[in-house]
Structure 1
Amino acid sequence: MSPKQKSLRSKSMAEASEEDRIDVLPDALLQHILSFLPAEDAVKTCVLSRRWRHLWKLTPILCITNTERWRSPKDFIKLVNHLVLFRGSSPLHKFEIKINSCAHWMIMSGDSNPFHCAIMWVMYALMCQVQVLTIKNVHAYIEMDDGFSLVSRHLTELNLSGLDFRKFVLNFSSCPALEYIYFSASCCFNSVEKILSQSVKYLTFDFPEFSEHHRTHIYAPNLITLRLDDCWGRVPFLESMPSLIAAFVRPHRDSDDLCSNTYSGNCEDEYCRGCYGMVDNAGNDSAKCVLLGGLSEAKKLELIVGPEMRIFRSDLRWCPLFSKLKSLLLNEWCVANNFWALACILEHSPVLLKLTLQISKETKPMIGAIENYSALVKPAAISKHLKVVKVHCKEVDEGVCETVKFLSTLDVVVLIRRMDRSTNLFSFEEGNSSSSHDEGSSR
């Protein structure tokens, strides 16, 4: 072969190699690439060549997320049913299904509840030993009845949104490896009396709706992190959580544990719905340590509530000992009635190291008129480790000044930090400090 022929051959091979570069990749890598595509797009690659015919079946991630691309829900349902039929039972790491409009599904498919389709696909994912299961529903609720029972030795993470659970007990004990549960984007627990999981370690509720007639009990003895944010209805009862490290709790300002008559924690009015409007099934006052008893083992707490919400102040009448608590963030609810709530918490937190108070303009009327500082409720003792208290505010007004005066009587340094007006004061990670600047400090 002449040098010219060799050169032409080498050039031809290089061009062919560039054209077919993706085909030289191993199957496992190609399957990984396909896993980033929506399921219907991954299936289309089967027409590329004989080699690609079955690659999509072995992808570890299956995402069914584009229901709005189909004019007919029946066609989409047919596609997904064929997809799971031909895919077989190869193992799945993640399965995600997103339903964009339940109302559209119900009208077009003639099905009164899209649950029936969704649950079949979920059962398929469990059969494939899925580890991460995600069900996202937008707009209307999907009603999850007794057919929603998860049984899996492999499931480790569960992400659910837009679901209405019609079960008295939401029991995840049949998933012994399940460690992460995220209830996000308005899940409804009106019918649920108890949520149970022995294995879960990280539990999140974002904008959940609980019953106004009974208090849902949460039993998660191995929980490490809890986030309960913007909950409606009655705040759930937290049972013992001895492994808890960190918790963020912020009931919605219009939840049913609201008393507009007093800031003391109990207005003593038998007709007040917030204070006396709910008794548990055993006939006991279910307001006794609804939250703080379950949170008492935590090392880090952020407790945020509106000024008329009574739940934390009511709990403090049976205040537990926070024997491990080192970091605490509170907003203005703790300064009501001459600071008795704050004093109570400080007295029951013997190893507290870090205290942050986030104060709004609603603080002054909560504190009340103070003629002399002998009327202030002071703790008998506070943690010897607590040397500095940070006060975050958007404006240094009279309420902030009164708070600083009280803290100064505890022999701690008070550091005032004024936040930018556009900054959200409350954050589980406290990531907003970069937008603030120090005003000064006092003792």
Structure 2
Amino acid sequence: MGIAESTSKQQKPSEPEETTVFEDRISNLPEPLLCYILSFLTTKEALATSILSSRWKTLWTLVPILDLDDSELTFPDSSIGSWVFRSKNHHQTGYRFRFADIVSRVWVLRNANPFPLQKFRLRWHYRCNSIDVDTWVHTAISRGFLQELDLEVFLHQPFNLTSTLFNHAKPLVVLKLNGSIVINPPSSSSSSLGFPALKVLHLHSVEYANHDSFWRFLTCCPVLQDLSVESFSGNCPCNFKIIVPTLKILHLHFLHLSYELEINTPALEQIHFRGQLSKDVLLKNLSNVVDAVVIESLYISDDLEEFGNRVGYFIRALSNVKSLHLDSFTTHCLYRASEFDPPMFHNLALLKFDGCTSFRHGLLPLLRRSPNLEALLLQKIPADHEEKTSIFEWIVMSSHLKTIYFKGFDGSMDELQFVRHVLKEASFLETMKLSSSCLNSEEKLHVLQELLMFPRKSRTCQIEFI
């Protein structure tokens, strides 16, 4: 019986070895879905897929997004005609074709398909040519489907996109311009000109042809909701007149004083101002602003009183905010102002303060006018004994304050003692949060263990140390 079994086993045919078969499921996906996947890649990455197979060779040209950056754009030799682009070092000359040659070829391949472009982003910082830029922009919007245009270009001579943009960019929803671009809207108020669908407009470091160029530009944007303006040169004084009923978000950054500013925006919810505040400022209809940032750049002036009055006027217009972010110089200006009578900030729930000076004279008057403040974020615990005592007394007396965040905590004995006193006396505190960039993980663990040993008057108070 044993012999028969042995013979049977010997006669059993051997099983074939298993082979692994890789199935290309991605390439079998429908073309619209593949294009959707490629839209999340940069143009460089999408173009690199053309070497995968014949199916992928021209697939990147169907993607409705072009993202071209002279600091990142490179091509494999086999992708589009054995081109080699320059090194990231702008001063090296190890390339055969200029950035303009590469982009022009991309446009030729891209325009061979009927699918319209919806987003065009161009970053060109080195040897930028205005003729090429104007040609590419015109090509991008000529089919009438472009929804987002993002240009960051720097030339020796600024160039004007007036005729191209204002006549052919009706579907634009997002427009971002940065660099050597002159804003010069047509003087005609014809309804055929402008951007009837534009909701987001960013104008950074651009130039303005005339005093009222900015204002005339905004009149062409009837449904604008998000506006960001950065102006770093006062060579051509400009009137930044912002009267937009639909505007909800406004970011302003000025590093000069040669401007006029008028804001009349009844729907505005967020306003962020950074830089230098001009004396020619008029503010109206800001009652719906709930989030505000006012960060003043240090301006060397003998008349800090006048400068403080400007800041005070700006702050008074924000009396309904729920979140307010200030820096130490802003509060210092408020302290020096002769005409600033702080309003009551009944809705203010969050106050952020960057800086380690002007607590007692700048910050405390605002705290005392904020009866419903729930969260206070300080860059650092004050070092001055009187300022520290004043802040401590206000914290203990506040019945609404739930969260305190000290961002620049260094774990010194003086700071630990201050936190100990706050935890011991604050009845309504729910969270004490501290963070430090100067302590390592072992030191943070040691400090946290010490913090957790402190007695807390509020039984619900939690301590966080990051």
State the TM-score bracket (shorter-chain normalisation): 0.5 to 0.7
Q: In the alignment, which of 16, 19, 23 is matched to residue 18 of structure 1?
A: 23
Counterpart check, 1:36 vs 2:40:
yes
Q: In the alignment, which of 339, 342, 349 is matched to residue 370 of structure 2?
A: 349
Partner of 1:96: 121
**Shift of the alpha carbon at 1:40?**
6.3
Deviating more after overlay: 58-67 vs 48-57: 48-57
Deviations 1:212-267 (A, max 9, x none): 233544454323334445x3675995654333222333333x3x3x55xxxxxxxx
Counterpart check, 1:244 vs 2:244:
no
Query: Take 1:389 and 1:316, find their aligned partners in 2: how far apart are those partners?
Result: 31
> Helix, strand or coil: the match of 2:316?
helix
Counterpart check, 1:201 vs 2:248:
yes
Query: Take 2:365 and 2:273, find their aligned partners in 1: how far apart are those partners?
Result: 23
Question: Which protein is bigger by CA-based radius of gyration?
Answer: 2
Q: In the alignment, which of 354, 364, 376 is matched to residue 384 of structure 2?
A: 364
> Helix, strand or coil: the match of 2:183?
coil
Q: In the alignment, which of 76, 79, 97 is matched to residue 105 of structure 2?
A: 79
Partner of 2:127: 105
* Equivalent residues in 2 for 1:271-310, closer than 5 Å: 272=302, 274-276=304-306, 287=310, 289-306=312-329, 310=333
**RMSD of Structure 2 on Structure 1 (CA):** 5.4
Q: Normalised by the size of structure 2, how large is the TM-score?
A: 0.58
Partner of 1:224: 269
Counterpart check, 1:152 vs 2:167:
no
CA contact (8 A) 1:152 1:174 kept: yes
Counterpart check, 1:385 vs 2:400:
yes
> Helix, strand or coil: the match of 2:352?
strand
**Shift of the alpha carbon at 1:291?**
2.8
> Helix, strand or coil: the match of 1:287?
helix
Deviating more after overlay: 386-395 vs 324-333: 386-395
- Could you say which structure has the greater relative contact order, defined with CA pairs below 8 angstroms and 6 or more residues apart? 1
Counterpart check, 1:64 vs 2:68:
yes
Partner of 1:420: 436
Paired amino acid for 2:116: S
Partner of 1:7: none
Partner of 2:3: none
Deviations 1:25-54 (A, max 9, x none): 112111112323444665687798887687
Partner of 2:344: 321
Instruction: Evaluate the alpha carbon distance shift between residue 402 and residue 67 of structure 1 in structure 2; reply closer, same or farther with a 3 A threshold.
Output: closer
CA contact (8 A) 1:138 1:162 kept: no
Q: Normalised by the size of structure 1, how large is the TM-score?
A: 0.61
CA contact (8 A) 2:269 2:288 kept: yes
CA contact (8 A) 1:332 1:358 kept: yes
Query: Take 1:88 and 1:115, find their aligned partners in 2: how far apart are those partners?
Result: 22
- What residue ranges of structure 2 are gaps of 5+ in the alignment? 1-17, 75-84, 86-96, 157-177, 187-192, 458-466
Q: In the alignment, which of 214, 236, 260 is matched to residue 259 of structure 2?
A: 214
* Equivalent residues in 2 for 1:395-434, closer than 5 Å: 419-422=435-438
- What residue ranges of structure 1 are gaps of 5+ in the alignment? 1-10, 260-271, 278-284, 424-432
Query: Take 1:239 and 1:199, find their aligned partners in 2: how far apart are those partners?
Result: 14
Instruction: Evaluate the alpha carbon distance shift between residue 90 and residue 393 of structure 1 in structure 2; reply closer, same or farther with a 3 A threshold.
Output: closer
Instruction: Evaluate the alpha carbon distance shift between residue 359 and residue 87 of structure 1 in structure 2; reply closer, same or farther with a 3 A threshold.
Output: same
> Helix, strand or coil: the match of 2:328?
coil
Instruction: Evaluate the alpha carbon distance shift between residue 318 and residue 135 of structure 1 in structure 2; reply closer, same or farther with a 3 A threshold.
Output: farther
**Shift of the alpha carbon at 1:420?**
1.9
Query: Take 2:309 and 2:209, find their aligned partners in 1: how far apart are those partners?
Result: 23
Query: Take 1:320 and 1:413, find their aligned partners in 2: how far apart are those partners?
Result: 26
Query: Take 2:431 and 2:53, find their aligned partners in 1: how far apart are those partners?
Result: 68
